[in-house]
Chains A and B, each alone.
Chain A
């Protein structure tokens, strides 16, 4: 549907109530795949990380990755889920060339984790509790590349290539209950929920959590219920939305699209939809009915997973502080304004700032350096700020500024030196000779010279026009090549001007 045909968002919400549901796939960062010993790695030659098991060769058999089970349990616990005492894998049978066995080894009626809850906070401060139905383990499919067609999709392609390196990579699929009452916030709920999941798996260290690499993938279910009705509308499932902003846009688009269709007397087809990042629209995928029959049955090649209660409690003890609670605590501890704190969070610098403060820096100074100069330099070289320099170095730099050894301007030069690998801030100060000149004798000599060279200025200062001192200060700073504390220079200028009286 063209953008112009969409219903106005506010009008859509007047007529309909959006009902949401999300399925988030998290790729675990285990060393090996879910059911075989092949490396869980990307960037390898096609089909190099494969074996009889993940290629689905005749005779291949699965072996469960114990680390994946542990990661799944920790993730389940972090989502407030119950951990099943007895959990089984099941085969989800369907034919598709990216699925080597032509069934996915997943979980059906006995998932590892179920009945969880996640409370998210919207920008308005509104709290929304999302009920988690289940989090289950499964293996990923291979990657299809369609060659020939104009669109890169299978339709119109001359042929397709399959790379099974991703086939068998461990996934946890997190399924929410229906989310009702989101109203106008629905798109933001989508974005914030996925962001929260991403933050949790990152804090747990169970996934690399890079959405752009598909480590976290979201399927967004949207349906509309006419106001006054208690009958649910037909839903669509927009697949593989791979950025937080896209989740928000896709939900919003579907609300507007479905509303326009329904209002015009049309019906919604229960189907999967593709999200198009470039045009910001969704398009029809394949029909998906509730009666889709995957002929699930318990995987006979694997034994049940029955984690002991003791182990589950041990794993619970390893959980990090929930990211949302941690953010609240840190903002209060640091005394940051909302915008200041948001800036840190949005720049993904919470860990870096926290470590810098822990190394002795004042919170505001840590924030200022990371979101300011470090972020700027990182942006220039196209890398992430926290990969550029260690928090301890930033803290050491700040210490030198506080001690008066460096001005901000000098400190920026020192930072460049540190990033260039010239050593610690102190070492850079010494090797580049960048310390503030704190020898009053040298300064006084320079000031006296400057005052003598600008007798008119001296006269003005003596007349009480103190602001005229700026010209002398500038000349002195220039003479000192910037390596002087401007405040001290000012003090001395006034003093010398008075003394010369």
Chain B
């Protein structure tokens, strides 16, 4: 058995099910890869090697006892540090939560464990998911496996880097304005933001409650679908969780591999998500992908979404407003670090202020101030109120577009991975990187990013974003799997097979 770490979760699932490989072997192989390359990548904030091996051994024992387990039982997974885990620190990339171990598991973590997946550890992220590069992590940035001098995207750069550097076959992410899809795009991996309400947010440390959504981070569309099936579905602990019965996303992804799956699919190209500001190589790969789709029988339709131009402005009012309130609880009273003021009396107010001053990083402070201002009496209507109206207009743009087409496509990000420090001095430039992904969050619709090639000018991955109407996540998986197969057939290989070899030494494989 060669190269277990290069296998997809779907492949591992089969190998584990017929017991040609054990979960301990698979888990050990990934821990070995982490040990070999993590110093350079820094995808993880915490690696739980012993616990992972113990969990793997339990799965192996259950299988040996003849128990029939779920499809992903025994497959390792990396968990974004925004999710509460009862046995691992959960810091959301912030100093203020350094070392905090929650007394409970997030619902998605509980579901992952119940399905027999093996948590390897917690992945790095921009502090409280505020950022597009992981440069705002309090614990240092994650490096893009394609080029260590470049960002892995953000906020979920850790999860994307972990799967694209073969440290984990699967990861969990969270997407408030693109934090799953943009990292997927710049690391050549697959990421899905489900329909708002499709996956529980209970135990996901909130950034912006009306925008946040937990989702899968993987290397293939089918793997994302398998993970989606594990984490999705109604959770009574999340009041915004939908009570719908969902179809199997894995079945939808497999259906997408049928011959002629793309024939007659109406594919909308959003005029406003292209043009100026998009890197030439990104635009080129996008055009080529459209041509492939057309050749496969899809109907390419240009659609307009005139209100998308206000999306970033609205997003950067709604997000900070909600975040300023969500982050109020970080006050040193019940959990997290406590910092006393250097001088003066020790009142609760002054301790709270000193803790927040020391515990929050610059981007978090910037957004708390923005949000506090936007919610202030006298400004509420002009800022938060107007932003909510824009949100409605964007939803209407999507409704109008989906009346004409089955899916919408765009580049997942305007550029390939940029270099560290490039946008740190200019928050607006950083914010604009999410122009393509934000509209889906504002409208609550599902979106996916999958690799569509390397930009000729820099040899870095370019992502294709696919969006579907709310609750039509299954359509994303069918269409995504079809596009993925089409592209890989045209290349003759997977995109990630082109990534540079990171290991400085031979990796010990789990052999059978």
Contact = CB atoms under 8 A, between A and B. Distances in A.
Interface of A: 51-52, 55-64, 91, 93, 95, 97, 100-103, 160, 162, 291, 293, 295-297, 300-303
25 contacts: A52-B84, A52-B102, A56-B334, A57-B103, A58-B205, A58-B329, A59-B84, A59-B203, A59-B204, A59-B206, A60-B202, A61-B237, A63-B237, A93-B328, A100-B334, A101-B328, A102-B328, A102-B329, A102-B331, A103-B325, A291-B377, A295-B324, A295-B376, A296-B375, A296-B380
Given A63-B237, A64-B239, A297-B380, A57 B335 contact: yes
B372 interface: yes
A304 B240 CA distance: 10
A160 B377 CA distance: 32
Contact of B239 (A52, A56, A62): A62
Contact of A97 (B239, B324, B333): B333
A59 B103 contact: no
Contacts of A300: 208-210, 240, 322
Given A91-B325, A93-B328, A162-B333, A52 B205 contact: no
B325 A295 contact: yes
Nearest to A92: B325
Contacts of B322: 297, 300
The list of the 10 closest CB pairs from A to B, nearest first, reads: A102-B328, A295-B375, A300-B209, A300-B210, A59-B203, A58-B205, A59-B84, A56-B329, A293-B377, A301-B209
Q: How large is the interface on B (under 10, 10 to 19, 20 to 34, 35 or more residues)?
A: 35 or more
Interface string B295-338: 00000000000000000000000000110110011110111000
B206 A52 contact: no
A57 B331 CA distance: 11
Contact of A95 (B103, B238, B240, B349): B349
B240 A303 contact: yes
A97 B206 CA distance: 20
Given A59-B84, A59-B203, A103 B328 contact: yes
A162 B348 CA distance: 12
A95 B331 contact: yes
Contacts, number: 105
Interface string B193-208: 0000000011111101
Contacts of B380: 295-297
A346 B97 CA distance: 55
Nearest to A101: B329
B202 A59 contact: yes
Given A300-B209, A300-B322, A52 B103 contact: yes
Nearest to B106: A59
B328 A301 contact: no
B315 to A, nearest CB: 14
Contact of B372 (A56, A295, A303): A295
B104 interface: yes
Given A97-B333, A302-B239, 10 more contacts: A57-B104, A57-B329, A58-B330, A59-B84, A59-B102, A59-B203, A62-B239, A103-B328, A293-B376, A303-B239
Contact of A59 (B205, B324, B330, B333): B205
B377 A61 contact: no
B97 A58 contact: yes
Contact of A93 (B84, B201, B333, B375): B375
Nearest to B109: A59
B106 A97 contact: no
A244 to B, nearest CB: 34
Contacts of B170: none
B136 interface: no
B236 interface: yes
Nearest to B235: A61
B78 interface: no
B146 interface: no
A165 B321 CA distance: 29
Interface in B209-262: 209-210, 236-240
Interface in B456-512: none
B384 interface: yes
A57 B334 contact: yes
Contact of B201 (A61, A91, A302): A61
B190 interface: no
Contacts of A63: 236-237, 239
Contacts of A301: 206, 209, 239-240
Nearest to A36: B237
Contacts of B237: 61, 63
Interface in B66-89: 83-84
A295 B208 CA distance: 16
B384 to A, nearest CB: 6
Contacts of B328: 93, 95, 101-103
A58 B375 contact: no
B112 interface: no
A61 B97 contact: no
Contact of A160 (B103, B236, B348): B348
A57 B106 CA distance: 12
Nearest to B329: A56
A55 B334 contact: yes
Contacts of B282: none
Contacts of B333: 97, 162
Of A62, A97, A103, A162, most B-chain CB atoms within 10 Å? A97
Contacts of B129: none
Contacts of A102: 328-329, 331
Contact of A297 (B201, B239, B321, B349): B321
B364 interface: no
A103 B375 CA distance: 13
B329 A100 contact: yes
B352 interface: yes
Contacts of B102: 52, 57-59
A302 B239 CA distance: 6
B329 A52 contact: no
Given A58-B97, A297-B375, A301-B240, A93 B325 contact: yes
Nearest to B205: A58
A295 B371 CA distance: 10
A122 B392 CA distance: 52
Which residue among A59, A103, A162, A300 has the maximum number of chain B CB atoms within 10 Å of its CB?
A59
Nearest to A94: B328
Interface string B82-100: 0110000010100001001
A246 to B, nearest CB: 29
Contact of A52 (B104, B331, B352): B104
Interface string B333-353: 111000000000000110010
